[in-house]
Amino acid sequence: MRIGLFGGTFNPVHFGHLRTVLEVRERFALDRVYLIPSAIPPHKSEVGIASPLDRLEMIRQAVADDSAFVVSNVELMRAGPSYTIDTLSFFAEVFTETDPHFLIVGLDAFLEIHTWKDFMGIMTRIPLIVMGRPGAYSQGRFADMPLAVADYLDRLVTGYRYDREQAVFVHPEFQPVYLIGVTSLDISSSAIRSLVRSGRSIRFLVPETVSHIISSKGLYQ
């Protein structure tokens, strides 16, 4: 079974998250994608973040009709900041060696991976799938993305080589870094929260089930 791991604050989850990770699942023939909300994101302020349980419920409702998506509470059950390396250690005990698994990240997050706890351990443990950001490196404007990633990788570690045909950086010691251009949906959680605070509609930005939870619980007011 081929597994994808996709973490984030999901505050709230929206169609930008869901559409892009769907395209990754199809492109890489993933059987399951685990959506993993963070409890305490190490690189973000906790101000304005909905409770872990509310964010977990929004994600569960958002993907309830697609069994290929699995929502994991592993980071919510662990005390302290939600470090990716700890989550990978957990899933290493869940998967077998015959289950290829991939860490899915957006380009902006990847370009900060040097600030993550034990980022070299991450890059030796699991292949990464890096999604282009809306507008800059989406499906229609993918050509420049390898240049940005190559420059960043050169500053992290020498030896990565780009395979243009497969859109992947390979290294003799570290795991591959795959690139994918995704549909440009310029939707952000912060913009959604701002709309809610101003009393404006968030219809067509989030699933109806997510909108209902936000409204019924008075989130982001």
Domains in the chain with CATH codes: 3-217 (3.40.50.620)
What was the pLDDT predicted at 45? 58
Distances (CA, A) of 69 to 3, 32, 180, 203: 10, 6, 19, 22
DSSP states of 157-214 as a string?
-TT-EEETTTTEEE-SSSPPEEEE--------HHHHHHHHHTT---BTTB-HHHHHHH
pTM to 2 decimals? 0.93
Q: Regarding beta strands 3-8 and 101-106, do their DSSP bridges make them parallel or antiparallel, or are they unpaired?
A: parallel
Q: Regarding beta strands 177-180 and 168-170, do their DSSP bridges make them parallel or antiparallel, or are they unpaired?
A: antiparallel
What was the pLDDT predicted at 141? 54
Using one digit for the tens of pLDDT, what is the confidence trace for 67-84?
Answer: 999 999 999 999 888 999
Using one digit for the tens of pLDDT, what is the confidence trace for 150-184?
Answer: 999 999 999 999 999 999 999 999 999 999 988 87
Please report, rounded to a whole number, the percentage of residues in the chain having pLDDT higher than 70: 92
Dist CA 160 CA 177 (whole Å): 9
Helix (H) or strand (E) holding 18: helix 15-27
Other CB atoms within 10 A of residue 163 CB: 12
- Mean pLDDT (the chain) is 92
Tell me: pLDDT of 131 over 70: yes
Q: Read off the amino acid at residue 46.
A: E
